[in-house]
């Protein structure tokens, strides 16, 4: 039971959340009905040198542009994406001077409003990097060039420089850099042929084989109007400009043909940049001014909304063994409106996996009478579609059911799965909660006697629909090693999932993705269930009783939903559809 003091604290937290969300509504920075994330939520914000893409600006930013664009399709809850994010930020910072030639961008496929974009580009695993050439036009099956998400900054920058150089001859864009190497035909004065009168110097950079120092230097200083950076790959040509390839690797040439060589210690892009930068400063040259991105009011409001989780965290830590209706609903919402609709074509094993999961949700969901109707109709729709099914079909059918039956959700916020730091926990936590709830409810009810029904549905869902590829691969490997298909009873299925969850907790404990307020432990702890612990093992009968009590549908808390049964108070956050 929740005490009066706890209820008071919980109300306070929800009131604070209401105030922040009202401010967001007033500012016009809201997400479409039926979504759950705050505006601008994700792994990047407007302080990063990354263009933030959504369904609203994706086409205008990516299609038919006069420069290339590197786009990271990511998923906020994906552990690998979280670990990669600092590397992508560093790459965006490194490539920021290239921005007229290459824009670095990202789109969060977790955001429900972006589901259609990620589906159109057949994105299902993350992080997923694509390079789109200047003038790119969308065509089914042709989604730019797939790029490896390298954590080596120098390697990533070099790779992008080579990709941009390969565009030479394929585009007639007037402002695209000249990547051609200086040849024997070039002499000091002819270097300026075709250049505008503002160019006071040509800066020559010697680029040995298996390096991209010249290419990167061209891109690094493309915004500087007073100079033109060129590369020289032939040492014999370089020597015409006093570059010997040993001591002198860079030279400046003015319009009178005067050459000044410069020494560089190493053949690295950063060494070249530093030497060229020093020369430019000595001449008081500056790059063309570009408008910098500003931190918006909505970013501040988002941070405020996140910080207001503190009261909810206190409530959860006090009532740490409660299962909350809000978390169960958030998991189902993300499954139905984001992960499943993101898949373009659903057929074969993937279709079977979807049918299995929808049948389990129909049998054991926590969404009341409306949920019964929605899942019954959705199951019928999927079965009738057979092999002609797509994520878009699912999304359209859900919208139709929403109009017919109204909302099946009473919350759009996490409670027990709330985070103390942005982009921790959330959906992955709620998904584990839902999976445990389903195994326990299946064990309690005699709807289906097949002991593997729920585990089969979970396995298929994680394999074919769960957006974290690393997590999915780990789960599939663990399922085989732990012999998931040998489970012989529904009670054993509940225990199998509990043991699997503890293995994942053990593997991810101390990881960068861990929330410090909610460390990964072996559950239940001895203080939570002393009888569950033996000297060197677990008492599985006691564990099963603990799980059956904790995930008992009759004990699920309504705290944080739009109707708090404990107080009888209606706490409506916004008018939400499904």
Say whether both 339 and 229 belong to one domain: no
Query: Is 172 part of any domain?
Result: no
Say whether both 254 and 304 belong to one domain: no
Say whether both 363 and 505 belong to one domain: yes
- Domain stop point among 282, 310, 338: 282
Helix (H) or strand (E) holding 73: strand 68-74
Q: What is the 3-state secondary structure (H, E, C) of 509-557?
A: CCCCCCCCCCCCCCCCCCCCCHHHECCCCECHHHHHHHHHHHCCHHHCE
Say whether both 261 and 360 belong to one domain: no
Say whether both 262 and 312 belong to one domain: no
Neighbours of 267 (CB within 10 A): 15
Query: Is 428 part of any domain?
Result: yes
Say whether both 441 and 549 belong to one domain: yes
The DSSP symbol for 179 reads: -
Cα 309 to Cα 340: distance, rounded to the nearest angstrom: 29
Query: Is 497 part of any domain?
Result: yes
pLDDT in tens, the chain (578 residues): 334 344 444 444 444 444 334 333 333 333 333 334 444 468 999 899 999 999 999 999 999 999 999 999 999 988 899 999 999 999 999 999 999 999 999 999 999 899 999 999 999 789 999 999 999 999 988 999 999 999 999 999 999 999 999 998 776 777 889 999 998 887 777 888 888 888 999 999 999 999 999 999 999 999 999 999 999 999 999 999 999 999 999 999 999 999 999 999 888 999 999 999 999 999 999 998 755 444 333 333 344 444 467 777 777 777 678 899 999 999 999 999 989 999 988 999 999 999 999 999 999 999 988 899 999 999 999 998 877 798 999 999 999 998 888 888 888 889 899 888 777 888 999 999 999 999 999 999 988 889 999 999 999 999 999 988 888 999 999 999 999 999 999 999 999 999 999 999 999 888 888 888 888 989 998 888 999 998 888 999 999 999 999 999 999 998 888 754 433 333 332 323 33
Say whether both 463 and 565 belong to one domain: yes
Q: How far is CA 254 from the centre of its chain?
A: 48
What CATH number does the domain containing 223 carry?
3.40.30.10
Q: What are the residues facing 107 on neighbouring strands?
A: 53, 73
Query: Is 312 part of any domain?
Result: yes
What global pTM score does this model have? Answer: 0.78
Domain that holds residue 263: 189-282
Query: Is 3 part of any domain?
Result: no
Q: How many structural domains compose the chain?
A: 3
Cα 502 to Cα 549: distance, rounded to the nearest angstrom: 18
């Amino acid at each position: 039971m929740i005490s009066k003091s706890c209820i008071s604290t919980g109300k306070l937290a929800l009131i604070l959340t209401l105030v922040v969300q009202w401010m967001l509504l007033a500012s016009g920075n809201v997400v479409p009905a039926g979504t759950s994330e705050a505006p601008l939520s994700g792994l990047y914000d407007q302080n990063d040198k990354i263009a933030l893409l959504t369904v609203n600006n994706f086409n205008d930013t990516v299609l038919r542009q006069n420069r290339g664009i590197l786009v990271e399709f990511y998923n906020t809850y994906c552990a690998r994406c979280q670990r990669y994010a600092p590397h992508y930020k560093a790459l965006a910072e490194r490539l920021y001077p290239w921005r007229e030639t290459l824009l670095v961008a990202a789109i969060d496929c977790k955001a429900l409003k972006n589901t259609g974009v990620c589906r159109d580009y057949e994105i299902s695993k993350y992080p997923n990097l694509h390079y789109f050439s200047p003038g790119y036009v969308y065509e089914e099956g042709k989604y730019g060039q797939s790029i490896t998400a390298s954590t080596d900054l120098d390697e990533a920058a070099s790779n992008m420089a080579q990709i941009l150089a390969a565009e030479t001859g394929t585009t007639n864009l007037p402002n695209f850099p000249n990547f051609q190497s200086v040849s024997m035909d070039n002499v000091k004065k002819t270097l300026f042929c075709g250049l505008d009168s503002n160019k006071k110097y040509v800066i020559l950079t010697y680029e040995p084989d298996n390096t991209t120092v010249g290419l990167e230097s061209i891109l690094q200083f493309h915004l500087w109007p007073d100079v033109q950076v060129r590369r020289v790959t032939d040492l014999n040509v370089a020597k015409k400009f006093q570059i010997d390839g040993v001591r002198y690797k860079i030279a400046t040439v003015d319009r009178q043909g005067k050459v000044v060589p410069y020494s560089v210690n190493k053949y690295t892009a950063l060494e070249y940049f530093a030497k060229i930068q020093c020369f430019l400063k000595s001449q008081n040259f500056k790059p063309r001014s570009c408008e910098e991105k500003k931190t918006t009011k909505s970013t501040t409001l988002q941070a405020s909304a996140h910080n207001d989780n503190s009261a909810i965290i206190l409530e959860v830590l006090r009532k740490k063994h409660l299962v909350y209706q809000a978390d169960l609903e958030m998991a189902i919402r993300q499954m139905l409106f984001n992960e499943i609709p993101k898949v373009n074509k659903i057929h074969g094993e993937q279709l079977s996996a979807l049918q299995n999961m929808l049948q389990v949700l129909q049998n054991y969901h926590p969404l009341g009478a409306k949920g019964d109707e929605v899942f019954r109709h959705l199951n019928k729709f999927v079965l009738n579609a057979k092999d002609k099914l797509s994520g878009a079909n699912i999304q359209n059918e859900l919208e139709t059911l929403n109009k017919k039956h109204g909302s099946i959700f009473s919350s759009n916020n996490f409670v027990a799965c709330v985070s103390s730091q942005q982009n921790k926990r959330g959906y992955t936590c709620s998904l584990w909660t839902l999976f445990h709830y389903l195994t326990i409810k299946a064990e309690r009810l005699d709807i289906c006697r097949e002991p593997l029904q729920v585990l089969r549905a979970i396995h298929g869902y994680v394999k074919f629909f769960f957006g974290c590829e690393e997590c999915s691969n780990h789960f599939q490997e663990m399922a085989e090693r732990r012999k998931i298909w040998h489970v012989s009873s529904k009670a054993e299925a509940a225990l199998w999932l509990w043991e699997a969850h503890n293995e994942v907790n053990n593997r991810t404990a101390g990881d960068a993705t861990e929330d410090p307020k909610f460390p990964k432990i072996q559950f239940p702890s001895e203080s939570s269930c002393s009888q569950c612990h033996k000297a060197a093992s677990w008492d599985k009968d006691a564990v099963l009783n603990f799980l059956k009590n904790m995930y008992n549908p009759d004990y699920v808390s309504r705290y944080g939903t739009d109707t708090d049964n404990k107080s009888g108070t209606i706490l409506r956050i916004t008018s939400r559809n499904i």
